Chain A
C-alpha cells in the first residue's frame, strides 16, 4: 500500500476521533446543567469512584512520599543539603506527584471500570432500552459519573497529599534520623496555599478526564466482548496520556 495513503488515513482517523470526542464532550457538558439532575445517582457514583479509590490512592501516595524522602536525602547529601528533604517532599507531593499519581491510579481503576460497564450496556442494548424508556443516557449514565469524578478527585488528592507527606515523615524520622518536630515544621513552613490549591485544580481536571474517557470509550464500543475489551484498554491508555499532557499544560499555566 502507498505510504502516503497510510499517513493520510491515520490523519483522517485522528481528526474523525477528535471530532467525535468533541461532540460527545459538548453533549455531556450541556446535559450537566439541563434538568433533570439525578442526585441519587451522583451520590452513588461518588461512593464508587471516590470512596472506593481511597485504598489504592492512599497506598500509592504513602510509598511515593517515602521513596521521595529517600532519594532526596541521597541526592541532597552530595551537596550537604539533607535539611531540604522535608520541604522538597512536601512541594513535590502537593504540586506534582499527589495529583499525577492519584490521577494515574484512578485512571487505571475507574476509567477501565466505567468503559467496561457502559460498553457492556451498549452491546447488550441496555443503552437503547434506556432511550425507549424516555431516559436520556447522557443524563442517566454520563453526567453522574463525570460530576462524581470531578468532585471527588480533589478530596482524594488532598488525602494523597497528607499520606504522601506522612510517608516522607516516617522514612525521614525512622530511617534518616530527622527530628520529628523539625521535619514537620520545615514541611508546613515551606508549603504555600498555592502549592496545594494548584494540585487540587489539577485533580478536578484529571477527574473529569478519567470519567470522560471511560464513558466515551464505553459509549462508542461495538462488537460484543471483544469490543468492550478494546474500549477498556483505550479508556485507560487515553486517560493516562491525557492526564500527563494536561498536567504539563496546567503546570505551565498555574505557575507561570
Chain B
C-alpha cells in the first residue's frame, strides 16, 4: 500500500459532545505508519471516546479524522463499517462474546466477516492463541471460565486474528497483577512488531507506557496537552505530565478537578 500522507492516523481539531457535555474539545494527534503511540490521562477524560471516534464506533461532532490522508470522520455508517477490516481493537473490559467458546471468539472475524470455513478458522484460532501464550486446552472453554489476564489475552488474539494494519489497546493492563501486566506488555510489543502495525494504546500504567510506546501523548479535559517521544516523558517540562507520571495528588490536575 502506498501511503499518501506522512501520517497513518491524523486527527485535526476533533470535538465530541454528548448533549451539552463536551468530552473531546479539539484533539490534534498524529501517528506515523508503523509507530506505537501511548495515550495517558486521567479517568473520564475521553480517551476511550477518542479511540471510538477514530475506529468509527462514534461519529465526532466536528473536526477531521484522516487515515492515510483520506478523510473518514464523516463517512456514512456503512462505508465506515467497511473500513473496520483495517482495525483490531482490544477493549477495556475485553468484551469477549460470552455466548461463544474461546476459539470462536478468536476466529469471529474470519468466520462471520470473511466467510472462512469453520475447521480452517479453528486452526487459525489455535495458532493465534499460541502466539499469545495460551494452550489449545482453552479453545473450547467459555470466556467467563477464564481469569482476567487470560481474557485479555484472548481479546488480544481476537484483535490480531485478521492481521489488521491498525491496532488499538484500551487499558490493556488495568486490573491485572504486575507480572501479568508485564506479560501482556510483552505480547503487545511482540504482536505489533510482527504485524508491522500502527498502534494506539491507552494506559494509566507508566511502566506499560514506557514499554509499549514509541511516542506518547497526554490528554486532559478533552485536549492533547503534551506529546513527544516516550523517552522524553520524564523531562517533558509540562507540570500536568509530571504530576500524572509521578502519581501525585497535588498539582495542576487536582486544581482543575476542584474547579470543575
Count class of interface residues, chain B: 20 to 34
Question: B93 touching A134 by the CB < 8 A rule?
Answer: no
Q: Which of B81-89, B125-133, B173-181, B238-246 contacts A (4 or more CB under 8 A)?
A: B81-89
Segment of B37-45, B108-116, B187-195, B198-206 in the binding face: B108-116
Tell me the minimal C-beta distance from A49 to chain B in angstroms: 15
**Contact call A132/B84, Cβ cutoff below 8 A:** yes
| A77 interface residue (CB < 8 Å to B) | no
> Within 8 Å CB of A125, what residues of B?
91-93, 95
A133-B84 contact, Cβ under 8 Å, with A128-B52, A140-B112: yes
Contact (Cβ within 8 A) B112 A128: no
Chain B stretch 147-199: residues in CB contact (< 8 A) with chain A: 158
Residue A124 interfacial (CB < 8 Å) = yes
A18 — which chain B residues lie within 8 A by C-beta? Answer: none
User: Is A129 among interface residues, defined by CB-CB distance under 8 A?
Assistant: yes
Given A125-B95, A126-B95, A126-B97, is A132 in contact with B108 using a C-beta cutoff of 8 Å?
no
CA of A48 to CA of B95, assembled, Å: 23
B32 CB to closest chain A CB (Å) equals 23
Report A39 CB to chain B, min CB distance, Å. 13
Q: Judge whether B212 is part of the interface by a CB distance below 8 angstroms.
A: no
Tell me whether A134 and B95 are in contact (CB under 8 A).
Answer: no
Are B89 and A134 interface neighbours, CB within 8 A?
Answer: no
Are A129's CB and B95's CB within 8 A? yes
Let me know if A26 is at the binding interface, CB within 8 A: no
B209 at interface by CB-CB < 8 Å = no
Residues of chain A with a CB closer than 8 A to B158's CB:
133
Contact of B93 among A124, A130, A140 (CB under 8 A): A124
How far does the alpha carbon of A132 sit from the alpha carbon of B92 in the complex, in Å? Answer: 14
Chain B CB within 8 A of A135 CB: yes
In the bound assembly, the distance between CA atoms of A135 and B56 in angstroms comes to 13
Asked if A134 and B97 make an inter-chain contact with CB atoms under 8 angstroms apart, the answer reads: no
Contacts of B98 in A (CB 8 A): 126
Chain A at the B interface: SS class: helix
Contact A133 B91 (CB under 8 A): no
- Expressed in whole angstroms, the Cα–Cα distance for A126 and B88 within the complex equals 14
* B109 cross-chain contacts in A, Cβ below 8 A: 133-135
- Check if A129 sits within 8 Å of B91, measured CB to CB: yes
Give CA–CA (A131, B57) in the complex, Å: 8
A126 to B81, CA, bound (A): 16
Asked if B57 contacts A133 (CB within 8 A), the reply is no
Docked complex Cα distance between A121 and B91 (Å): 13
Q: Which residues of B contact A238 (CB under 8 A)?
A: none
Interface presence of A136 (CB below 8 A): yes
Give bound CA distance, A148 to B81, whole Å.
26
B55 at the interface (CB under 8 A from A): yes
Inside 8 A of B112's CB, which chain A residues have their CB?
133-135, 140
Which residue on B lies nearest to A134, using beta carbons? B113
Question: In the docked arrangement, what's the CA distance between A124 and B98, Å?
Answer: 10
- The complex places the Cα of A133 from the Cα of B88 at a distance, in Å, of 8
Q: Could you tell me the distance in whole angstroms from the C-beta of B88 to the nearest C-beta in chain A?
A: 8
1/0 contact string of A142-181 vs chain B (CB within 8 Å): 0000000000000000000000000000000000000000
Residues A129 and B97 in contact, CB atoms below 8 Å apart: yes
Among A197-234, those with CB < 8 Å from B are: none
Chain B, 51-93, contact with A by CB distance < 8 Å: what is the 0/1 string? 0100111000000000000000000000001001101110111
Q: Is the CB of B108 within 8 A of A135?
A: yes
Query: Chain A's nearest CB lies how many Å from the CB of B159?
Result: 8
Question: Which B residues touch A124, using CB under 8 A?
Answer: 93, 95
Knowing A125-B91, A140-B112 are in contact, say whether A132-B97 is a contact too (CB < 8 A): no
Most buried by A among B85, B89, B92: B89
User: B91 — which chain A residues lie within 8 A by C-beta?
Assistant: 125, 128-129
A85 to chain B, nearest CB (A): 48
**How many whole Å from B170's CB to the nearest CB in chain A?**
9
| A128 touching B108, Cβ below 8 Å | no
Report the Cα distance A136→B109, complex, angstroms.
11
A134 to B97, CA, bound (A): 14
Query: In whole angstroms, how far apart are the Cα atoms of A134 and B108 in the complex?
Result: 9
Interface set of A (CB-CB < 8 Å, partner B): 121, 124-126, 128-136, 140
Can you spell out 13 A-B residue pairs with CB atoms less than 8 angstroms apart? A121-B97, A124-B95, A125-B93, A125-B95, A126-B97, A128-B52, A129-B95, A131-B57, A132-B88, A133-B113, A134-B113, A135-B109, A135-B112
16 additional A-B pairs beyond A129-B91, A133-B113, A135-B113, beta carbons within 8 Å, are A121-B97, A124-B95, A125-B92, A125-B95, A126-B97, A128-B91, A128-B95, A129-B96, A129-B97, A131-B81, A132-B57, A133-B84, A133-B108, A133-B158, A134-B85, A134-B112
Question: Top 4 A-B pairs ranked by shortest CB distance?
Answer: A134-B113, A125-B95, A129-B95, A133-B109
